[in-house]
Structure 1
């Protein structure tokens, strides 16, 4: 039995705008870190004299550890109703870890501090989504228009960092990361104090580990994790080998950059109109559309399409990533009690996406080594699994909570 979500309270327009602006600014700050870390951290590691195998270990270790750390931190934030304070703590860890990296050499010290920085970055994301979703529920703003600022600053950081590296070398990467974490730390202090409202909306009761475990094994939530996780994980070959494969086909770096940018632009456009899209097609329809688009996109990519065809295929990124993400965020907002919001976000980020992405990346490596561009066909199969799960979820979910909370007073 699914309890319907509570009606949205009316909020004065100036308060709604203020909440949205502060969350938008924080998303923009946070994605400065992602825009430097994801594309350029391997370059810094190589500059420190690490081998390809050591770089792979440092890159893969956070994927493994975040499956334990992220849900635990999110559970703590849910239980104590201190999402904002936890985010500030994580930003401090990120600043300290990146500054330590700037003074560190050798595999083991770099592993420790690089993993700390990566987990601080990735654990901040689900906690931020909790605050963002609370604002969407209570003020009625369009989540996508808040989240798109993260995508935009990702591009700015990516391009800006490339210019800095070209002028100063890869050693500047950790200093840019430290600066990005510092900016995020400052922005975190301006996040809305949503925790008190969230605590009042679900009652001042203690959250137990058993409740979090119940959510993790609830059949409808498991179907959601499979659907959302596999559709996102199906990007593994694209994220890891697209640039390498396009380069081997003789495509110039300028065109490759344009292709990547086109995908982000498509994502931003969808975010800008996400409220209307969700109202039109619904959460279930959006997730199904994302999964079906992923099957089409990766199947087409597996046959090494001509250059002109890559441009419309890149536009599908707005569906395969953007629509899947929007559907996931709205599903968790509507299907999970707010007391478990951080736990749900962390399970999606660490298990649904982190673990699935780690496995898909390993599979992609094996497939790409043997079949080159044909590896995308394996990703189409993964997306097809997501489509089946999305269809099953759509059939079973009636729009209410997937789990009921019967909470005892602490």
Structure 2
């Protein structure tokens, strides 16, 4: 018997297309993060110049990501903007490859940051559209990015070790070309919002974005997520260095990092059951508590076997925090400001707060070495406390009102109170 038309999945390939785009994105990330500094050193830049180039995207993100994300909400063509940003990233990597000297590289890096730092929030916005429609399980799609990161970091290391540092940019260009392809493959149905005439909504105004910034529950969420994610700053910046100082071989260090990512993948694979059984704000609180435990024990330089066990907590400290954040923005923010919310999240959590914690990690590690993880545990505990407050006050409602119809007075439509 033929399956009823209404029972068929209208977008059977959406999850696979989005999974391919995540995989392509993290192919680039998995090569960029560990190996771009090696390429910059190969191009004869000194340590201070390399630090400036690596820090540039953090500060560009704070300014440009919310603005471009709001433009995507305003215009409605998120897929088209995502495609343009992917092409812009490809051109930027080409310019970086051809750049001669620090100042040309700085200009190319700034252009790359403008394009690159908004891609992830827009991909997450497309994923949120899929969650709203019931077309995908976010974690099972996002795990392809984590798998791709492992493949890229290990595979790039082998290729660079064999062929030399000059292969870094060609690898980044190849990954970005796949990302361009993935952006074009996204279905149009999930790449934008309904036309204003069809939805009955007026055009967004800048004040609508500021309403989101002023919503107490959204700010409480940003504070909770920021503290939990920023608690990873010392680990990202000095984790490898500290393990080497403890005498752990580089191969074992690579395995320790892989344990964390594999644990994250396992959580994403089971994300549907996790979200169904644990409320979003509670999951964020548990992530903060797990991070507190993880960094608190790391501060005492545990033995290798205990360090390996603590690495499995990456599934909670990062994975659960990210999963909770995506689902909070899915249910607490109206669809008309979905990209704006993602842009603010990226700018504050992954830009301003994580960047500040990263800068602070330098003097902390220089002064306290591994004991500096105690400061990271304090950040995570603050995040858990904020998530507890969010759990007490948020009941799954929208934290700002839906943009009203032009004739909203007397329209009789349902509204949600702004928190």
Q: Same fold (TM over 0.5)?
A: yes
The 1-side partners of 2:152 and 2:326 are apart by: 25
Report if the CA contact (8 A) 1:198-1:338 is conserved. Answer: no
Give the structure 2 partner of residue 66 of structure 1.
61
Gaps of 5+ in 2: 408-419
Q: 1:23 aligns with which of 5, 18, 43?
A: 18
Q: 1:276 aligns with which of 268, 273, 277?
A: 273
What's the CA shift for 1:212? Answer: 0.4
Normalising by structure 2, report the TM-score.
0.93
Q: 2:148 aligns with which of 149, 153, 160?
A: 153
Report if the CA contact (8 A) 1:267-1:318 is conserved. Answer: yes
Give the structure 2 partner of residue 129 of structure 1.
124
Report if the CA contact (8 A) 1:223-1:389 is conserved. Answer: yes
The 2-side partners of 1:27 and 1:60 are apart by: 24
What's the CA shift for 1:344? Answer: 0.3
Give the structure 1 partner of residue 316 of structure 2.
319
1:45 has 2:56 as partner: no
Give the structure 1 partner of residue 133 of structure 2.
138
Report if the CA contact (8 A) 1:283-1:331 is conserved. Answer: yes
Q: 1:255 aligns with which of 228, 252, 255?
A: 252
Give the structure 2 partner of residue 207 of structure 1.
204
| Alpha-carbon displacement from aligned partner over 1:364-391 (angstroms, at most 9, x marks no partner) | 1110011110111111111111111111
Q: Please show how residues 157-168 of structure 1 align to structure 2 within 5 Å.
A: 157-168=152-163
Report if the CA contact (8 A) 1:16-1:141 is conserved. Answer: no
| Alpha-carbon displacement from aligned partner over 1:127-181 (angstroms, at most 9, x marks no partner) | 0011111111113421100110011111111111111111221111111111111
Gaps of 5+ in 1: 1-9
Q: 2:83 aligns with which of 88, 96, 100?
A: 88
Give the structure 2 partner of residue 289 of structure 1.
286
Q: Please show how residues 330-409 of structure 1 align to structure 2 within 5 Å.
A: 330-407=327-404, 409=406
Q: Please show how residues 101-116 of structure 1 align to structure 2 within 5 Å.
A: 101-116=96-111
Q: 1:309 aligns with which of 306, 317, 325?
A: 306
Give the structure 2 partner of residue 187 of structure 1.
182
The 2-side partners of 1:202 and 1:392 are apart by: 34
1:267 has 2:268 as partner: no
- Pair 1:406–1:88, CA change in 2 (3 A): closer
| Alpha-carbon displacement from aligned partner over 1:258-304 (angstroms, at most 9, x marks no partner) | 10000000000000011100111110111010000011000000111
Normalising by structure 1, report the TM-score.
0.95
- Pair 1:287–1:122, CA change in 2 (3 A): same
The 2-side partners of 1:257 and 1:122 are apart by: 26
What's the CA shift for 1:405? Answer: 2.6
Give the structure 2 partner of residue 4 of structure 1.
none
1:329 has 2:326 as partner: yes
1:243 has 2:240 as partner: yes
RMSD: 1.7
Report if the CA contact (8 A) 1:11-1:138 is conserved. Answer: no
SS at match of 1:399: coil
The 2-side partners of 1:119 and 1:304 are apart by: 39
The 2-side partners of 1:50 and 1:406 are apart by: 50
The 2-side partners of 1:38 and 1:317 are apart by: 18
SS at match of 1:171: helix
The 2-side partners of 1:300 and 1:121 are apart by: 35
Q: 1:34 aligns with which of 29, 35, 38?
A: 29
Report if the CA contact (8 A) 2:287-2:317 is conserved. Answer: yes
The 2-side partners of 1:40 and 1:233 are apart by: 22
Report if the CA contact (8 A) 1:224-1:393 is conserved. Answer: yes
What's the CA shift for 1:39? Answer: 1.0
What's the CA shift for 1:352? Answer: 2.3
Answer with 279-288 or 265-274: which moved more. Answer: 279-288
Q: How many residues align?
A: 401
The 2-side partners of 1:198 and 1:313 are apart by: 45
Give the structure 2 partner of residue 98 of structure 1.
93
Report if the CA contact (8 A) 1:206-1:409 is conserved. Answer: no
What's the CA shift for 1:105? Answer: 1.9
Answer with 139-148 or 356-365: which moved more. Answer: 139-148
Report if the CA contact (8 A) 2:61-2:113 is conserved. Answer: no
Report if the CA contact (8 A) 2:79-2:192 is conserved. Answer: no
- Pair 1:107–1:314, CA change in 2 (3 A): same
Structure ID, larger Rg: 2
SS at match of 1:189: helix
